[in-house]
Amino acid sequence: MSGDRRRVLVLRGAQANPWDLGPWEELGERFDVSCAVTRSNLYDLGSLEVRRADVRALSDFAPPGPARRLAAILPLNRYAGLGPLLANADIVHAAELSYWFSAQAARHKRRHGYKLVLTVWETIPFAGAYRHPVSRRHRALALEHTDLFLAATERARDALVLEGVEPERIRVSPPGVNLERFARPAGHATDATEHLILSPGRVVWEKGHQDAIRALAAIRRGIVPAPESARPRLVILGSGGERDRLATYARDLGVADSVDLVENVPYDDMPGYYWRASCMVLASLPIRSWEEQFGMVLAEGMAAGLPLLASSSGAIPEVAGPSASYFAPGDWLGLARLLAEGPLARPPGSTVEHPAELVTRYSTSAAAERLREAYDSLR
């Protein structure tokens, strides 16, 4: 051990990111934490204060650009030269049942003798039948060798039970966000003169940004009545393959002048968008292989005092509880009515006060304490 601190190695493959890893920043007094980071990592880690351990992955050898991004998420990807990091760890903390890096940690556990922890966001129990053959083998290794599963939600916990995990090997351990980063500064007052509807998230079909555009068009066309003074703008905040299609769709529906697609925003710049908005929309849609597993932007929005309008996809109602107004996934008219009757009926930039216990539950401090308790249970 490093002094009396247990050594924790966090594995996220090429998906290490600051919104996931924030709680580990607060473990330094009792745990020696490092995160394995590859050259093909998909996200900017910015000012994240977790020690990084450089490691190669097969995806690093792909040419930069789309080929490397694809290689990073393929089930056949793997670390190269991870052995010394594993040998030096007391606890290895990976994620999800079928990811390649979780399987690699499970495969080498007996050789190196560390405890294996797996954070699980997945809310659909795919078992073996609905997984890729390679992912099916990864799942089998994870189920056999994981010492403790940390489910992000109760819904994820129930899915794990159906996957065959004994309940005593599972703890519900939600993630957390830095409340100080997202809370509006003391005395902050908006001088907003127009309503900004914020729709943050990956720019992919299942995040439902197209339904936010439809709702905006329904209001602008008078299909759903709204206050005459409400001329809202929609800000879609994120990156992904649907960007061009969404821009074309906004033109098709006659609202291109009121839709902004903003991509590649550093994580540290996100709060500024929240503070200028009148509300947040999370219009997630379930698909065959995914439903909303948590919605980190919900925790961020609560910390910023934003009104939340969300679909009832997956774990969203569990996470947001009474802090959000809900519509059925795909019900863009229902979303338009909620906008017209709620945020658009108030002055631009108006805030709400979310339950303090809910905001605190999703703080990095609370999440870090849950991690400490989980690690302490592995003696």
Q: pLDDT digit string (tens) for 70-89?
A: 999 999 999 999 999 999 99
Termini Cα distance of the chain: 13
6-176+363-376: what CATH class? alpha beta
Strand 31-37 relative to strand 170-172, pairing? unpaired
What angle, rounded to 10 degrees, do the helices at 100-107 and 133-145 form? 50
pLDDT of residue 1: 45
The sign of the dihedral angle between the CA atoms of 238, 99, 295, 368 is negative
Count the Cβ atoms, other than its own, within 10 Å of residue 309.
Answer: 25
pLDDT of residue 229: 77
**Cα–Cα distance measured from residue 363 to residue 177, given in angstroms and rounded to the nearest whole number:** 5
Domain locations along the chain: 6-176+363-376, 180-360
Of 3.40.50.2000, 3.30.70.2080, 3.40.50.360, 3.40.50.300, the CATH number of 180-360 is: 3.40.50.2000
pLDDT of residue 46: 82
pLDDT of residue 118: 98
pLDDT of residue 187: 62
The reply to whether domains 6-176+363-376 and 180-360 share a CATH topology is yes
Low-confidence residues of the chain: pLDDT under 50: 1
Q: pLDDT digit string (tens) for 325-355?
A: 999 999 999 999 999 999 999 999 999 999 9
pLDDT of residue 21: 97
